[in-house]
Amino acid sequence: MPFKTIIEPFRIKEVEPISVTTEENRKVYLREAHYNPFMLKSEHVLIDFLTDSGTSAMSSKQWAAMMEADEAYAGSRSWLKMEAVIKDLTGYEHILPTHQGRAAERILYGYLGGKGKVFISNTHFDTTRANIEFSGAEAIDIPVEESNHPMLDLPFKGNMDVNELERLIKRHGPENIGGVILTVTNNSGGGQPVSMANAKDIKTICNKYKVNYFLDCCRIAENAYFINHREAGYENKTYKQIAQEMFSLADGCVMSAKKDGLVNMGGFLAVKDKALSDACTNLLIITEGFATYGGLSGRSMEAMAVGLQEVFEPDYLKYRIRSTAYLGEKLYKMGIPLIYPIGGHAVYIDAKAFYPQIPVNEYPGQALVCELYLKGGIRSVEIGSVMFGKYDDSGKLIPAPNELVRLAIPRRVYTQSHIEYVIEVFELILEGKEKVKGLRITEEPEFLRHFTAKFERL
């Protein structure tokens, strides 16, 4: 008989205490952090949903592999192991290790980018956009129209608008397209999956115009789970086979292994083309390290080699996707506006709908982030106009399309009772929500301002 409760498919062998704080303590900590949770000390956080990146608990097999690591500068055994795992998974010939995803982005998009170049994506993640813009190129997001309707229950709201893709390639000229980047799952678009049909349509267009096609594949195992469960023809394929098919469509990929690589640090760049690989390898050696470690220790490469295999285990993926959905569906039933259906790695709350009294230039998402921390010690992140807002020439805010708050769930870290606690905190937040006010930015940097901006309460 099928049971309702999805259990964590692991036993806990080692524990890390979390320090319990009171609302009084947290008021002080939040003020000291200038109302920006990136500036909080993690020991002042009870439940850390800031990111699912680099926060996974590693398995006993990963720790065991780390003990076997070969720390040689060149040609290390650990590198060869990791390279073989990535080649088998992606099918790409040329693998470049990097210390994390954005290092791979900087190398690839820095090389293909520059002034006059255009990159097109379902949605560029913030570091992806920043690396592209830093090179002087332009980054254009073209998610499908249904992604603008948070509550619309559709299976693949992470897809790219392929008609718009063709229009943009024609308008800018294929020779000016630095690359088309398919982000799976679409993190900034709510952690929503991308269908294989969409990935295939993009390939057809990229082939027609001979433009580069890359996957930003940091959550490709989670994406494969959704394809298996939602797309006809994939029910009998394994998660790994589904991922392999998706890789086969593109010319290369960039991966932050800190997500579906189940490691605390690591990433890679992989491409089919030798000339592109050679050019990127030059840049890799200048800034990341020699081509057989790229900024990673042998230990980290061992952990990644194991993690990239474990992440496709059916029991793990079922637990992963269902436990994220469990939190989201409970909040949905409480009437909290959120992106539905629930994505793979996170629950995204629609803060604009939750706090209708707060205008976008007073950052409703940041207000909810602060409330979650104050009331429950929960750290989350705003994905809205703090992260993606820009200014026009007169200094007026051009808001982001959505004002979201992301509760990103670290892999294999929190238990069901942690999640039940989070649900209770939301009950408390619902009670006083009409009285909550917005914030004002008092200091901000030029790029990626959400990391270090300072705020003041209104």
Residues of the shown chain interacting with ligand F0G in the complex, contacts defined by CB under 6 A: 51, 53, 100-102, 125, 127-128, 183, 187, 216, 218, 256, 258, 267, 408
CA-derived radius of gyration, the chain: 21
Shortest Å distance, C-beta 434 to ligand F0G: 30
Shortest Å distance, C-beta 188 to ligand F0G: 7
Residue with Cβ nearer ligand F0G (216 or 231): 216
Residue with Cβ nearer ligand F0G (38 or 421): 38
- In 3D, which of 66, 52, 127 has the Cα closest to residue 347? 52
- In 3D, which of 175, 165, 156 has the Cα closest to residue 121? 165
Residue with Cβ nearer ligand F0G (128 or 228): 128
Shortest Å distance, C-beta 405 to ligand F0G: 13
The dihedral through the CA atoms of 365, 370, 376, 382 has a sign that is: positive
**Sequence-distant (≥ 6) Cβ neighbours of residue 144 within 8 angstroms:** 122, 156, 157, 159, 160, 161
Contact 382, 363 (CB under 8 A): yes
Instruction: Read off the amino acid at residue 19.
Output: S
Residue with Cβ nearer ligand F0G (183 or 385): 183
Placement of tokens 């029991």 in the chain: 315
Shortest Å distance, C-beta 50 to ligand F0G: 7
Shortest Å distance, C-beta 222 to ligand F0G: 11
Beta bridge partners of 453: none
Residue with Cβ nearer ligand F0G (269 or 358): 269
Shortest Å distance, C-beta 369 to ligand F0G: 14
Placement of tokens 């806990």 in the chain: 12
Q: How many CB atoms lie within 10 A of CB 326?
A: 18
Shortest Å distance, C-beta 7 to ligand F0G: 27
Give the span between the Cα atoms of 177 and 143, in whole angstroms.
Answer: 18
Q: How many CA atoms lie within 13 A of 384 on its CB side?
A: 25
Residue with Cβ nearer ligand F0G (103 or 165): 103
Residue with Cβ nearer ligand F0G (362 or 402): 402
Shortest Å distance, C-beta 265 to ligand F0G: 8
Residue with Cβ nearer ligand F0G (190 or 438): 190
CA distances from 11 to 189, 335, 395, 441 (A): 33, 34, 53, 44
Shortest Å distance, C-beta 395 to ligand F0G: 29
Residue with Cβ nearer ligand F0G (258 or 375): 258
Give the 3-state secondary structure percentages of the chain, helix then strand then coil, rounded to 5: 45, 15, 40
Strands (E) located in 115-209: 118-121, 138-141, 177-183
- In 3D, which of 86, 83, 130, 140 has the Cα closest to residue 109? 130
Query: Which strand (E) or helix (H) includes residue 253?
Result: strand 252-256
Shortest Å distance, C-beta 254 to ligand F0G: 7
Contact 403, 351 (CB under 8 A): yes
Structure-token pair, residue 406: 């992301």
Position with the least CB separation from ligand F0G: 101
Residue with Cβ nearer ligand F0G (270 or 358): 270
Contact 360, 385 (CB under 8 A): yes
